[in-house]
């Protein structure tokens, strides 16, 4: 009903019959109640239940509903095909952390707008004229934001998977131009996973999962790309999931061990320090770091593994420092993973941890790979300074693999450069590599940095490194990474001079 103020109101009416003495209907009593507010609230609730509050796009529930519908059409009409695209914004967390959540939200809204504009259906008339395979012929689309920086797109009436790839490429193209945020330009890339209809027995949840798996594949193979789901991905996703479950159990069961690899002074052959390296002691045998560290880091499990590793290793080092009172004291090198380095309060945590195990920070070196350090130079400089303030030493690990120039290291408060194994292993057979190593050592010294050569395996390599005045080295020539008992024997022998300071063969170790 129209109110006299001109607005429309929703009324709920109940009517009762008024009967006369003969029982005939004489009139009605109508009671009207203004329920406009309740209706509005109900509509808002219904909308909230199906749409994303931030972007106004569909939410996961509505998308699943549409997906169920598409699947049931597909079961009845085998030529009806559709695809689900799982879109994830690359490095969105970095944007959120550096510019703040409100800005992140504005960016998500703008991304949603571009997606909507890009997937707006070409009008029906021109559609029939379009060639069949230019990716422009598709039916209804549903764009959803299930949460975070993820978007889902359901595209109906496709012909084959390549149509879906073209749509994904179009989305990537549309998101490529920079976004204007607070007067600065932000460039966004995304990784897209595609699940294409085909299997009559497919289920909605299963298709979303397949699209997500394909999206992760796109991320792992370099980001800013798209990938179509296939069944081998399912198998590898399952085994990843199994590994993840096993890793979590392994943390509870304390299955991780610290192995140590000696770092040797090239001046006198003494073991001056030890690099702590993780090993996973499973009932079926030892698992090497390369087979579990990457997944452990991605899933955040590495944070608890490494916490335990630091506690164990510090305790061990203190025992050895007492047993072998060398001058200077033995030092311990610890690897810092990408995710650890990205933590907000790394320095504070590290400080507390070292204090907890009574470790003098001056005896600890933290190793950060060149690639991690260079990925965000400004932030790295700040984090490295905070760490430096604790008193720990800082090493750039795997140097030479990150294609950065030494001069870019100048702003970092680092002490040591660790030359990657790939250079050291080739330096005695390839003249050019030999020159590269020589120049790296020279430039590092000019910057006041100490150099450790990694992966020294031959006497020839050792001789060359000595001639370059490289300070320290580690590698199989001296010892592999080994368990504490083996290392203790090695330290005793190395320090008492019973065996030549630099050993030619590694002890029984891994």
Among 278, 380, 461, 494, binds ligand C2E (CB under 6 A): 278
Contact 481, 261 (CB under 8 A): yes
Does 316 interact with ligand C2E (rule: CB under 6 A)? no
Q: Provide, rounded to whole angstroms, the least separation between the CB of residue 308 and ligand C2E.
A: 10
Q: Which of 80, 179, 324, 476 binds ligand C2E (CB under 6 A)?
A: 476
398 scored as a contact of ligand C2E (CB under 6 A)? yes
Least spacing, CB of residue 269 vs Ca ion, in Å? 21
Of 191 and 335, nearer to ligand C2E (C-beta) is 335
CB of 426 to ligand C2E, least distance (A): 12
**H or E segment to which residue 388 belongs:** helix 377-390
Contact 306, 337 (CB under 8 A): yes
28 - beta bridge partners? Answer: 17
Interface segment toward ligand C2E; rule CB under 6 A; list 37-45, 176-184, 199-207, 288-296: 288-296
- Decide which of Ca ion, ligand C2E, none touches 455; Cβ closer than 5 to 8 Å per partner kind: ligand C2E
Partnered with residue 473 across adjacent β-strands are 264, 453
Residue 477 CB, nearest approach to ligand C2E (Å): 7
Residue 397 Cβ vs ligand C2E, minimum distance, rounded to whole Å: 5
CB nearer ligand C2E, residue 8 or residue 403: 403
Among 163, 397, 428, 483, which residue interacts with ligand C2E (rule: CB under 6 A)? 397
Of the candidate residues 70, 277, 314, 419, the single one contacting ligand C2E (CB under 6 A)? 277
Binding track over 324-353 against ligand C2E, x by CB under 6 A: -----------x-x----------------
Q: Which residues contact 286 (CB under 8 A, 6 or more apart)?
A: 279, 280, 510
Q: For ligand C2E, which residue of 96, 137, 141, 306 counts as binding (CB under 6 A)?
A: 306
How far apart (Å, rounded) are the C-alpha atoms in residues 174 and 114?
Answer: 7
Chain residues 252-271 in contact with ligand C2E, contact rule CB under 6 A: 261
CB of 270 to Ca ion, least distance (A): 20
Q: Which stretch binds ligand C2E (CB under 6 A): 189-197, 263-271, 406-414, 471-479?
A: 471-479
Which residue ranges make up the site for Ca ion (CB under 5 A)? 335, 367, 397-398, 454
Q: Which is nearer to ligand C2E, 181 or 353 (CB)?
A: 353
Minimum CB distance to ligand C2E, residue 150 (Å): 28
Expressed in angstroms, the distance from the first to the final Cα of the chain is 84
**SS3 category, 507:** coil
- Partner in contact with 384, chosen from Ca ion, ligand C2E, none, beta carbon below 5 to 8 Å by kind: none
Q: Is residue 288 a contact residue for ligand C2E (CB under 6 A)?
A: yes
Decide which of Ca ion, ligand C2E, none touches 316; Cβ closer than 5 to 8 Å per partner kind. none
Q: Which stretch binds ligand C2E (CB under 6 A): 219-227, 445-453, 474-482, 486-494?
A: 474-482
CA–chain centroid gap for 463, Å, is 41
User: Which residues on adjacent β-strands are paired with residue 280?
Assistant: 256, 287
Are 402 and 374 a contacting pair, CB within 8 Å? Answer: yes
461 binds ligand C2E (CB under 6 A): no
Q: What is the dihedral of CA 265, 271, 275, 278, to 10 degrees?
A: 150
Instruction: Please tell me the distance from the alpha carbon of residue 246 to that of residue 299, in angstroms, as a whole number.
Output: 12
Rounded Cα–Cα distance for residues 417 and 399 (Å): 7
Least distance in angstroms from the C-beta of 248 to Ca ion:
25
CB 218 within 8 A of CB 172: no
d(CA 227, CA 1): 55
Return d(Cα 91, Cα 306) in angstroms, integer. Answer: 24
- CA-nearest of 206, 210, 180 to 195 is 210
CB distance 470 to 266 below 8 Å:
yes
Q: Does 289 bind ligand C2E (CB under 6 A)?
A: yes
Nearer to ligand C2E, 388 or 421 (CB): 421
Best CA proximity match to 145, nearest among 186, 89, 83? 89
List the interface residues with ligand C2E, window 179-218 (CB under 6 A): none
* Residues forming a β-bridge with 275: 261, 333
On the 0-12 / 13-18 / 19+ scale of CB atoms within 10 A, 232 is exposed
Is the CB of residue 108 less than 8 Å from the CB of residue 178?
no
Pairwise CA distance, residues 218 & 234, whole Å: 14
Q: Which helix (H) or strand (E) holds 484?
A: helix 484-496
Compute the distance between CA of residue 486 and CA of residue 508 in angstroms, rounded to an integer.
8
Q: Which of ligand C2E, Ca ion, none binds 444 (CB below 5-8 Å, type-dependent)? A: none
Which C-beta is closer to ligand C2E: that of 149 or that of 398?
398
311 binds, among Ca ion, ligand C2E, none (CB under 5 to 8 A by kind): none
Residue 278 touches which of ligand C2E, Ca ion, none (Cβ within 5-8 Å per kind): ligand C2E
**Binding residues for ligand C2E (CB under 6 A):** 261, 277-278, 288-290, 293, 306, 309, 335, 337, 367, 397-398, 421, 455-457, 474-476, 481
């Amino acid at each position: 009903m129209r109110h006299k103020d001109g607005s429309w109101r929703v009324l709920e009416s109940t009517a009762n019959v008024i009967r006369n003495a003969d029982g005939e209907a004489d009139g009605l009593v109508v009671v009207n109640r203004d329920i406009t507010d309740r209706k509005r609230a109900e509509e808002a609730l219904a909308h909230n239940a199906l749409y994303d509050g931030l972007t106004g796009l569909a939410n996961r529930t509505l998308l699943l509903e549409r997906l169920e519908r598409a699947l049931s059409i597909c079961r009845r009409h085998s030529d009806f095909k559709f695809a689900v695209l799982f879109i994830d914004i690359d490095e969105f967390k970095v944007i959120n952390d550096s510019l703040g959540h409100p800005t992140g939200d504005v960016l998500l809204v703008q991304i949603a707008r571009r997606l909507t504009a890009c997937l707006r259906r070409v009008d029906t008339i021109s559609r029939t004229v379009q060639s069949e395979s230019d990716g422009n012929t598709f039916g209804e689309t549903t764009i959803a934001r299930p949460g975070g920086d993820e978007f889902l797109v359901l595209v109906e009436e496709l012909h084959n998977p390549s149509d879906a790839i073209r749509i994904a490429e179009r989305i990537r193209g549309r998101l490529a131009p920079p976004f204007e945020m607070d007067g600065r330009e932000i460039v966004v890339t995304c990784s897209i996973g595609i699940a294409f209809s085909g299997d009559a027995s497919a289920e909605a949840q299963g298709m979303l999962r397949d699209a997500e798996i394909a999206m992760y594949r796109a991320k792992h193979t370099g980001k800013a790309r798209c990938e179509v789901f296939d069944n081998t991905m399912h198998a590898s996703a399952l085994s990843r999931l199994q590994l993840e479950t096993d890793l979590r159990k392994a943390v509870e069961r304390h299955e991780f061990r610290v192995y140590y690899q000696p770092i040797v002074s090239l001046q006198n052959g003494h073991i001056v320090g030890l690099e702590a390296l993780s090993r996973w002691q499973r009932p079926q045998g030892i698992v090497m770091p390369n087979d579990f560290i990457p997944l452990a880091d991605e899933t955040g499990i590495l944070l608890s593994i490494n916490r335990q590793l630091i506690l164990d290793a510090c305790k061990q080092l203190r025992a050895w420092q007492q047993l072998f009172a060398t001058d200077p004291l033995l030092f311990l090198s610890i690897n810092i993973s990408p995710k650890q380095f990205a933590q907000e309060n790394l320095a504070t945590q590290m400080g507390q941890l070292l204090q907890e195990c009574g470790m003098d920070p001056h005896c600890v070196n933290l190793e950060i790979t060149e690639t991690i350090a260079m990925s965000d130079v400004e932030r790295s400089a700040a984090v490295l300074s905070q760490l430096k303030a604790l008193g720990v030493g800082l090493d750039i690990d795997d140097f030479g693999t990150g294609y950065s120039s030494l001069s870019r290291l100048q702003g970092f408060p680092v002490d040591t450069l660790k030359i990657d194994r790939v250079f050291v292993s080739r330096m005695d057979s390839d003249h050019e590599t030999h020159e590269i190593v020589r120049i790296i050592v020279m430039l590092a010294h000019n910057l006041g940095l100490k150099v450790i050569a990694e992966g020294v395996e031959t006497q020839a390599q050792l001789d060359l490194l000595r001639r370059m005045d490289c300070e320290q080295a580690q590698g199989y020539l001296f010892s592999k990474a080994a368990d504490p008992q083996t290392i203790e024997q090695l330290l005793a022998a190395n320090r008492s001079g019973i065996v030549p300071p630099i050993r030619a063969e590694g002890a029984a170790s891994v």
